[in-house]
Structure 1
């Protein structure tokens, strides 16, 4: 089996140059890269991953924590992180927290034990202090979908309050004054921030906040149908509802179908996320676009730049925008 030394001799470069080529180092002359690759091909040289890691003090791997694999949200997020990682000839190792503090902690320790070169974390349960301490321990870390003010430069997030405000304001602008909200789990910062946006929009329009118009649901599919039924039973006078994600909006569609309430006529609905299915239901769902693809891409690029000691200054706060479709009617 050929060695790095033999490759360097045939290519007429140093072993350090061969090592830099193998590890995707940016500062290698194109001529030298070509000679190294030609020598590797001639010698049928196949680099050993463990040996590369020892030589470079890198494992060429990125660890990622997400909430679950069973979600239309995390799939695009993982895909866009992995796409950037693979372009650097690195691999992504993904594990889940499953809405459990203990499992999130265990997952991160697992990734650190793998000596990953960097971390991308979507954490609901870890405290701000824990994340701050983790960043001190492992500086090559990016946190997605969450803002921790003390380490804001390591966070990529959207303005959830603005998203909730935009969704509610759209309903109000269309003449709706009896506007309800079905939130995600209020243990999640996203839900609380979107709810605050809903309240702020009501306040700005001079409308009174009614706690009977707010029901806690879930971002997944569990229990949302019952939450919708409870809302319609206790507040039958509502004409519109802001759903804090598109899964919740689907439950509204189902329950309204049960009760013969036409979406967009009997009840106006705005969702959040702009998930793939939102444009395939009828009527098509008006929703707030969550730029999940952009968040994954920006987080990965920022992390890879940090690992390579390159400058990269992204906009850490991304702006959600309304996607207007057919699920909202204009009241006279």
Structure 2
């Protein structure tokens, strides 16, 4: 395997000049650049990534922390970040935190130790204090789907509470007053904010809050099935269901339809996120759009601006607004109460 010394000898220049060419350093003659690149091609020389990172103080990679890379939500987020990174000739290095503080911390440390200057972090496990400390060490660290007031200018998030409010209010406007809620049992802000948005909408519309209408389960299809089984077993008179996310809604709808319940004629269901599944289940799911692709784009753009010491377009956190997407899973209650 060829070394930098071999390339320098073949090109007829010093090792220092060869290093400058490899690392795209200024003040290098065109003649030397041509000679070194020709030598590299002839010898099939590939620069050592770690060595280049030491010289450049960067690995030319963007670090991304996600909850679970297998989840479609995070797939969309990563793709959006990669679109911007590719335009900057940067590669992604991805870590998974699974909403666990230890795993998140380990993954972030790996990204930092890999010399990622730009980092887009989706953290639900680490405390605000820990994120504040990390951000003070890494100027290009930006947080997505998280609000931390002390570092608000580095935060890009969705108003989850408002989104759940809009979803529940849509059911109320269609005549429903007995509305169940499928809540996530994860100990994260999103779960609390979306549940609280549901409760806010009920209060503001003078509807009694009933704890037995809320089920806390895993936020996936199986959780959605189990939640609706529990609600049916309790013989609740619900005519509509708001859910933490689209996957819970899909599981809920499948179980209902298998038991002869028509949607939306007998039961209205609304989701949250507007993921791919929302458009490919029957009936197509009315839901709240979570613009994660746009938010991820903005997060990386902000991170790159911070790394390059450019003026950012805003000084406070960027809070994206959720949007109601009307499809076919919500109907008007036949007899208004």
Q: Across the two proteins, how many residue pairs are aligned to each other?
A: 318
Q: CA offsets per residue over residues 103-128 of structure 1, 9 Å max, x none?
A: 11221222222222122111111111
Structure 1 CA distance, aligned partners of 2:175 and 2:31? 69
Structure 2 CA distance, aligned partners of 1:162 and 1:248? 19
1:327 is aligned to 329
Q: CA offsets per residue over residues 247-282 of structure 1, 9 Å max, x none?
A: 000111111023210111110000001011211111
Asked if structure 1 preserves the Cα contact closer than 8 Å seen for 2:224 and 2:249, the reply is no
Q: CA RMSD in A?
A: 2.8
Structure 2 CA distance, aligned partners of 1:147 and 1:300? 16
Structure 2 CA distance, aligned partners of 1:16 and 1:149? 44
1:306 is aligned to 306
1:283 is aligned to 283
Give the 3 Å change call, closer, same or farther, for CA 282–304 of structure 1 in structure 2: same
**Correspondences of 1:1-332 after superposition (within 5 Å):** 2=7, 48-313=48-313, 316-332=318-334
Asked if structure 1 preserves the Cα contact closer than 8 Å seen for 2:22 and 2:47, the reply is no
Bigger drift between 82-91 and 68-77 goes to: 82-91
| Partner SS state of residue 95, structure 1 | strand
Q: CA offsets per residue over residues 151-198 of structure 1, 9 Å max, x none?
A: 111111000011000000100011111111111124111011011111
Q: CA offsets per residue over residues 286-326 of structure 1, 9 Å max, x none?
A: 00000010111111111111111122325711111010000
Unaligned runs of 5+ in 2: 1-5
Q: CA deviation at 1:21?
A: 5.2
Structure 2 CA distance, aligned partners of 1:72 and 1:7? 52
Asked if structure 2 preserves the Cα contact closer than 8 Å seen for 1:65 and 1:107, the reply is yes
Structure 2 CA distance, aligned partners of 1:143 and 1:7? 48
Give the 3 Å change call, closer, same or farther, for CA 167–35 of structure 1 in structure 2: farther
Give the 3 Å change call, closer, same or farther, for CA 327–35 of structure 1 in structure 2: farther
Asked if structure 1 preserves the Cα contact closer than 8 Å seen for 2:185 and 2:217, the reply is yes
Structure 1 CA distance, aligned partners of 2:31 and 2:63? 33
| Partner SS state of residue 324, structure 2 | strand
Structure 2 CA distance, aligned partners of 1:320 and 1:17? 49
Asked if structure 2 preserves the Cα contact closer than 8 Å seen for 1:286 and 1:325, the reply is yes
Q: CA deviation at 1:18?
A: 6.0
Asked if structure 1 preserves the Cα contact closer than 8 Å seen for 2:7 and 2:18, the reply is no
Asked if structure 1 preserves the Cα contact closer than 8 Å seen for 2:66 and 2:123, the reply is yes
Asked if structure 2 preserves the Cα contact closer than 8 Å seen for 1:19 and 1:56, the reply is no
- Scaled by the length of structure 2, the TM-score of the pair is 0.85
Bigger drift between 174-183 and 220-229 goes to: 220-229
Give the 3 Å change call, closer, same or farther, for CA 35–79 of structure 1 in structure 2: farther
Structure 1 CA distance, aligned partners of 2:280 and 2:133? 44
Asked if structure 1 preserves the Cα contact closer than 8 Å seen for 2:101 and 2:126, the reply is yes
- Scaled by the length of structure 1, the TM-score of the pair is 0.86
Q: CA deviation at 1:220?
A: 3.1
